[in-house]
Amino acid sequence: MFFRNRFLFLLALAALLAFLSLSLQFLHLIPVNPVKEDGVNSKNRKRIMPDPLTETPPIDPIYEAKFYCNIPSIPERSMEGHAPHYFKLVSVHVLIRHGDRYPLYAIPKTKRPNIDCTLVPNRKPSHPQLEAFIGHMSKLGSEAKMDSTLSSMPRYPSHLLCEMGELTQTGVVQHLRNGQLLQDIYIKKHNLIPSDWSAKHLYLETTGKSRTLQSGLALLYAFLPDFDWNKINFRHQWSAIFCTGNCVCPIRNHYLGEDQRRQYSLRVTNIHLEKTYADMAKIIGIPTKQLRASNPIDSLLCHFCHNVSFPCTKNGCITMEHFKVIKAHQLEDEKERQEKKYYYLYALLATYPLLNQTVNRMQRIAEGKGEELFVLYSAHDVTLSPVLSALGITEARFPRFAARLVFELWKDGKKNKEYFIRILYNGVDVSSQTSFCRDYNQRYNKPMCPFDKFVHFVNLDMFSPFNATNYYDACRRRLF
């Protein structure tokens, strides 16, 4: 009897130990496989499912393309105008990319996408203010103050078949939405612009393309409905990087050239991309080199954004798979561009004139010497992209149609002489992602970035990678 009870006791103990061992393995408290001294499992098992905590999910080129199109749909949520209740908003600077446009390039031997660039209020996408916008733009007379280059341009698109690079109705609606959103926040909520505002309260600047002028006017109309043309003065900026009188910079051009060589190397080593180009060229009936030179992604994005079938010939059709391969390569190029430093160094020198203007204007306002409450730069992707890079916002997507980058200047109501800045990209607060406020935000966990940090970044930090202390020396530094 004694031996029987002892046997049952040992059997129960063994079962308990086995259960505890399996439980510890399930909870990952002990390793399933023996671990070597260097920390590597002796048996390396292939994992079927990705680890959501350590592995970056694959980029979906179709999702990214839809985001880039920025088709007006549901109301957008944004973080503009958010601050502690004792802060006062004193100035806002907005840098926009023009809205949706017709392609700049055509794929040879294919039919151009049939897109109507006239404005029709009852055609989707539309906006409640679209009809009033058309009427107000039609009333323009000699009272508007615009540089001579801009005065001869149409105020809104009007061609039955879009011209190359022309703003579409979608592009107009995108910026009417932007303007309405900014009006709700900055005028209705914060009373940024007084009811008796005048021309001195605005600073407006655009490049010499109709799509940027029309985008700026659409945003401005929704921001200040039925504005008085006598108070509007759009200035012409001939440079896409808004360098004004500081455009001569040999080192900037050097780094841009280095980045273009990087782009070329990435493209020629992408065998899947080259095969895709060759297949498309065979369908169209042209040499592969000619197809690449026509920048087909520009035209295909227009087809995609407007839900128009891709081009077809007697040899077949360009397919969604072709599009996905080219778009995926474009996304890979953007990722590598952030990893390499050529574009970043280019961006620092390319954007200094614009950021310096922004800092100087904000400083004058803080000192009570400036009156520009709202500043609008209507520009291009090649304007916004280097600004984002120079600021250190590496996680930002490439500027979509009607992208907006906003700089808000705030005054601390408890300490009147202290000013703070917020930077927002498409409604998302990215101040803590900037190189000059990243450490401050992590250390102090404050909702605002001190304006002095932005000033120091523009006046000194932008030149440190070039071992210089000013723009002139940085632009002329000897490389060897």
Long-range contacts of 323-329 (CB under 8 A, 24+ apart): 323/61, 323/65, 323/297, 324/61, 324/62, 325/272, 325/273, 325/276, 326/273, 326/276, 326/296, 326/297, 326/300, 327/61, 327/62, 327/64, 327/65, 327/297, 328/59, 328/61, 329/266, 329/267, 329/270, 329/273
- The answer to whether 401 and 98 are in contact (CB under 8 A) is yes
Can you spell out the DSSP letters for 24-60?
HHHTTSS-SS-B-TTS-BSS-PPPSS--TTTSPPPP-
- The answer to whether 202 and 231 are in contact (CB under 8 A) is yes
Task: Verify whether residue 279 is a known catalytic residue.
Answer: no
Task: Verify whether residue 175 is a known catalytic residue.
Answer: no
Can you list the positions of beta strands (E) in 214-369?
233-237, 312-313, 316-317
Q: How far apart are CA 379 and CA 96, in angstroms?
A: 6
pLDDT by position in tens, the chain (length 480): 544 555 556 666 666 665 555 454 444 433 334 333 333 333 333 333 344 444 556 789 999 999 999 999 877 789 999 999 999 999 999 999 999 999 999 999 999 999 999 999 999 999 999 999 999 999 866 567 888 899 999 999 999 999 999 999 999 999 999 999 999 999 999 999 999 999 999 999 999 999 999 999 999 999 999 999 999 999 999 999 999 989 999 999 999 999 999 999 999 999 999 999 999 999 999 999 999 999 999 999 999 999 999 999 999 999 999 999 999 999 999 999 999 999 999 999 999 999 999 999 999 999 999 899 999 999 999 999 999 999 999 989 999 999 999 999 999 988 878 999 999 999 999 999 999 998 876 666 677 899 999 999 999 999 999 999 999 999 998 765
Say which of 279, 298, 333, 381 is annotated catalytic. 381
Q: How far apart are CA 126 and CA 134, in angstroms?
A: 12
Q: How far apart are CA 406 and CA 96, in angstroms?
A: 9
What is residue 207's predicted lDDT score, i.e. its pLDDT? 98
Say which of 98, 175, 190, 380 is annotated catalytic. 98
Q: How far apart are CA 435 and CA 432, in angstroms?
A: 8
Burial of 419 (0-12, 13-18, 19+ CB in 10 A): buried
Q: H or E segment at 409?
A: strand 404-412
**In the structure encoding, which two tokens stand for residue 171, read together?**
């592009």
- The answer to whether 377 and 242 are in contact (CB under 8 A) is yes
